């Protein structure tokens, strides 16, 4: 973990940077180049007395952290996993990880927009910054070491290189909560989400998406009272979207591929279902089936098989399962699902999506597939025309208690 720059070195960096006032003051305009890309911002950088100020909101979207303006206290807080920087409107004093630092430019508010001195903030966050007089631009190089998610005032980070997971409340120093054995590839597309299980219990999910290969790996980390208590990893392949429900009734729903685990906040198992075996899909595809839970109830689950792409209704008590496309779709639509190569990039699943439940009646929306062949459409099975999404309509499943779906479940 990088140590905080000593205050002496930070001050030297602030005063040693090539001055920008000689050009910027004349034009009133300056370009910010972030990791080699020129930024297009809703609010242009502010140049005042030869110093460049960046809109706080724009900064927040560029760092692996958060930048927050508190209008009540007139305080700016910039926070990452290993930095906590605070500044006051109009004040030339700031704090970096609790240490007081003198500023040569204070945060300002102009026309309702909060601006922070770019040179100070980038130095405090240990970024490289340079001035290009010819291009009239400020260059910032930032190495994203962390992947972050937040829920309200709760923040969570993972450092893929080490597996370290950090947690913090807004405006407070982060703490190490554990070290993950398996971590996402930071070079990929890594959307992350943080969901509360109630109290100080959280499910932190990071995705590793490779679009060109239609691959998604989900990493789930369960954190309870400041400690990492459980983790899971599931690899999904194919073109069917992953819509995994992360939490049900105070328990985390973890997927490790073919199994679904309901975990208590302390990491203990409440229940586990071997869906690959229950559905009979284990060993059917070229790759092992992975399952996501699209909806959960006390009595049933609606799970999606990947890459098979089909939605299944699973009885939690009996562990019996039925593929819903067999119950709800006409034969021609079933034939399309059955005939498609599940690893084909054009395949998007059975087209079924859960809408609602009223008592024992489930309602689904289905995106129908047409039989019209389009020119230049990739299609791996010449005997069946490629499916094309059409208008959606709703299908009501037979009431669970009326004998129809009960019979389907055996």
The answer, yes or no, to whether the previous bond of 307 is cis (omega within 30 of 0) is yes
Query: Of 17-26, 100-109, 139-148, where does mean pLDDT reach its minimum?
Result: 17-26
Residue 1 lies in a domain: no
CATH number at residue 100: 3.30.457.10
Please report the pLDDT score of residue 331 as a whole number: 92
State the pLDDT confidence band at 282, using cuts at 50, 70 and 90. Answer: confident
Q: Which is more confidently placed, 43 or 343?
A: 43
- Residue 118 in this model has a pLDDT that exceeds 50: yes
Same domain, 131 and 151: no
Question: Per-residue pLDDT tens for 90-101?
Answer: 999 999 999 999
What is d(CA 254, CA 198) in angstroms, rounded to the nearest whole number?
A: 17
Q: How far, in Å, are 278, 313, 338, 398, 408 from residue 403 at the CA level?
A: 21, 15, 26, 8, 8
- Residue 250 in this model has a pLDDT that exceeds 80: yes
How many domains, in total, are found in the chain?
A: 2
- Residue 389 in this model has a pLDDT that exceeds 60: no
- Residue 398 in this model has a pLDDT that exceeds 60: no
State the pLDDT confidence band at 124, using cuts at 50, 70 and 90. Answer: very high
CB 156 within 8 A of CB 169: no
For 128, phi then psi, to 5°, come to -90, 135
Residue 288 lies in a domain: yes
Quick one: which H or E segment has residue 56?
helix 56-60
Residue 28 lies in a domain: yes
- Residue 405 in this model has a pLDDT that exceeds 70: no
Same domain, 98 and 245: no
Same domain, 33 and 106: yes
pTM for this model (two decimals): 0.85
Same domain, 151 and 70: no
Please report the pLDDT score of residue 387 as a whole number: 46
Residue 380 lies in a domain: yes
Residue 210 lies in a domain: yes
Dihedral sign from CA coordinates of 99, 100, 104, 107: positive
pLDDT (average), residues 155-177: 97
Query: Looking at 141, 168, 188, which one is the last position of a domain?
Result: 141
Range of the domain at 166: 147-408
Residue 117 lies in a domain: yes
Same domain, 187 and 281: yes
Question: Per-residue pLDDT tens for 200-215?
Answer: 999 999 999 987 678 8
Same domain, 240 and 371: yes
Q: How far, in Å, are 30, 148, 172, 210, 219 from residue 216 at the CA level?
A: 39, 18, 33, 6, 10
pLDDT (average), residues 180-185: 95
Please report the pLDDT score of residue 135 as a whole number: 86
Residue 2 lies in a domain: no
- Residue 106 in this model has a pLDDT that exceeds 60: yes
Please report the pLDDT score of residue 343 as a whole number: 81
Same domain, 133 and 218: no
Q: Which is more confidently placed, 103 or 371?
A: 103
Q: Which is more confidently placed, 381 or 320?
A: 320
Please report the pLDDT score of residue 123 as a whole number: 93
CB 88 within 8 A of CB 107: yes
Same domain, 220 and 109: no
> Which residues, listed in sequence order, are joined to residue 236 by a DSSP beta bridge?
216
């Amino acid at each position: 973990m990088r140590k905080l720059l000593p205050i002496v070195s930070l001050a030297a960096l602030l005063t040693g940077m090539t001055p920008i006032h000689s050009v910027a003051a004349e034009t009133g305009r300056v370009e910010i180049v972030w990791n080699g890309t020129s930024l297009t911002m809703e609010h242009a950088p502010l140049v005042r007395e030869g110093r460049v100020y960046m809109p706080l909101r724009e900064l927040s979207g560029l760092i692996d952290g958060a930048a927050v303006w508190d209008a009540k206290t007139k305080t700016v807080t910039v926070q990452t996993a290993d930095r906590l920087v605070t500044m006051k409107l109009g004040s030339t004093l700031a704090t970096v990880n609790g240490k007081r630092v003198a500023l040569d430019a204070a945060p300002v508010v102009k026309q309702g927009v909060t601006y922070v001195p770019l040179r100070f903030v980038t130095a405090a966050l240990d970024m490289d910054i340079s001035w290009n007089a010819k291009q009239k631009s400020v260059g910032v190089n930032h190495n994203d070491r962390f992947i972050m998610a937040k829920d309200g005032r709760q923040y969570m980070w993972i450092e893929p290189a080490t597996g370290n997971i950090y947690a913090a409340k807004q405006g407070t120093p982060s703490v190490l909560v554990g070290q993950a054995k398996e971590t996402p590839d930071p070079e990929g597309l890594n959307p992350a989400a943080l969901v509360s299980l109630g109290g100080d219990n959280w499910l932190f999910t990071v995705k590793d998406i490779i679009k060109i290969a239609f691959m998604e790996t989900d990493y789930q980390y369960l954190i309870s009272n400041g400690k990492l208590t459980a983790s899971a990893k599931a690899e999904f392949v194919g073109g069917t979207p992953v819509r995994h429900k992360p939490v049900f009734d105070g328990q985390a729903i973890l997927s490790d591929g073919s199994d679904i685990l309901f975990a208590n906040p302390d990491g203990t198992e409440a229940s586990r279902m071997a869906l690959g075996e229950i559905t009979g899909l284990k060993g059917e595809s070229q790759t092992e089936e992975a399952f996501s839970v699209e909806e959960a109830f006390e009595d049933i689950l609606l799970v999606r098989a990947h890459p098979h792409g089909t939605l299944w209704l699973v009885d939690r008590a009996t562990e019996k399962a039925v593929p819903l496309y067999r119950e709800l779709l006409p034969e021609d639509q079933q034939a399309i699902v059955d005939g498609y190569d599940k690893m084909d990039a054009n395949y998007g699943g059975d087209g079924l999506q859960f809408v609602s439940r009223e008592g024992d009646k489930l309602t689904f929306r289905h995106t129908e597939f047409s039989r019209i062949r389009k020119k230049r459409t990739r299609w791996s099975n010449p005997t069946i025309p490629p499916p094309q999404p059409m208008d959606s309509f709703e299908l009501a499943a037979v009431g669970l208690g009326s004998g129809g779906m009960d019979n389907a479940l055996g």
